[in-house]
Amino acid sequence: MYHDLTLRDGSHAIRHKLSTETIEKYCTFAEDAGIEVVEVGHGNGLGASSLLIGESMHSDYEMLRVARKHLKRTKLSVHIIPGVATISKDIDPAVDIGVDIFRVASHCSEATLTKSHIEYLHSKGKYVIGVLMMASRCSVETLLEEATKMKTYGASAIVIMDSTGSFMPCDVYERIQSLKTLEVPIGFHGHNNMHLAVANSLAAIDAGATIIDVTLKGFGAGAGNTPLEVMEILKPSGLDIQKIIQYHEVFEYTSPVCKPVNLLTAKHNLFSGFEKHILEASTKYSVPVTQLTNEIKHLVAGQEDLIQVIAQFLSTLQTP
């Protein structure tokens, strides 16, 4: 099954400025094309709109209400990062709106942070997917241990995210094979920093993954995601490819381009969404992108403000 994240991961590409008009048009298209799941919201999920990460054009609830109105057969999904999204302020209203799938995410080695959110949603009878982000930053064994925790909390499926676009197909195959021992649906989320998003998604399917995250035109953070249209041609899932191609032609946003900064974030296992923050800080403080990416390789998503701090510090070390 292809989970379409165009209206969530794609938000990164436009600084989270998705309009309700775009959401309405896309959800109408998704229904017509037979897409099974569409994820909607700020690039970093529920509750993430902020000056630090980026402010959305509309609130979570405005976006979800528009999507819910236009999605009948297609399921509505949201992304949740505990610590960013809270149960009472963010999750309960999403439940009331009628969100179908809740994808609760953590750094690949910090699944314990998802416990309260997954258990709460499970107690409400909701379909919960545990998501392990930045999966290239830990071993196969650690991924399995953390995914097992999510399953015990009540997750009905597990998705691993190559948030840095660093994996090779053999890496993906090995990890999906390992996670299959959990006997729940396993999924993969690819980024195209090394031009391997499609190859990695195909490797995931070959290893037994039944959930593949995609976006139209690969529209997403950094160098973008696995393109929906390519996957549906290579591995048909029963979608209306004619309608997908037709909408591809009129979709208002262009396909992401892989730039040197994307290659460097992949090399250093950095979150793909750092791209714009790195380029801005590099320009502002006249620090080479190669130097800056090397110095911030310990940062994870949510620490975007530190990129500016580190770039400013590096600028003070430069010889006059």
Mean pLDDT of 230-238: 98
CA 192/CA 229 separation, integer angstroms: 15
Query: What are the tens digits of pLDDT across the range 147-179?
Result: 999 999 999 999 999 999 999 999 999 999 999
CA 264/CA 295 separation, integer angstroms: 12
CA 238/CA 260 separation, integer angstroms: 36
Q: Which pair of structure tokens corresponds to residue 269?
A: 């296992």
User: Is 5:35 a contact under the CB 8 Å cutoff?
Assistant: no
Domain boundaries, given as residue ranges, for the chain: 2-250, 260-316
User: Is 85:61 a contact under the CB 8 Å cutoff?
Assistant: no
Mean pLDDT of 75-87: 96
21-25, 107-111, 274-278: least confident range = 274-278
The enclosing H or E element of 65 equals helix 60-70
Comparing C-alpha atoms, which of 82, 80, 92 is closest to residue 128? 80
Strand partners, 128: 102
Is 12 among the residues known to form the active site? yes
The single-letter code of the amino acid at 13 is A
Q: One of 12, 16, 107, 117 is an active-site residue; which one? A: 12
Q: Domain 2-250 adopts which CATH fold?
A: TIM Barrel (3.20.20)
Q: SS3 of 163, please?
A: coil
Would you tell me how many other CB atoms lie within 10 Å of the CB of residue 178?
18
Mean pLDDT of 97-114: 97
Considering the segment(s) 260-316 as one domain, its CATH architecture is Orthogonal Bundle (1.10)
Q: What is the dihedral of CA 86, 89, 92, 93, to 10 degrees?
A: -130
- Indicate whether 319 pLDDT > 70: no
Q: Which pair of structure tokens corresponds to residue 257?
A: 């381009």
Query: What are the tens digits of pLDDT across the range 20-46?
Result: 999 999 999 999 999 999 999 999 999
Can you give the pLDDT at residue 304? Answer: 87
Comparing C-alpha atoms, which of 251, 247, 243 is closest to residue 33? 243
Half-sphere exposure of 151 (CA within 13 A, CB side): 17
Mean pLDDT of 105-134: 97
Mean pLDDT of 62-73: 97
Q: Which pair of structure tokens corresponds to residue 21?
A: 């008009």
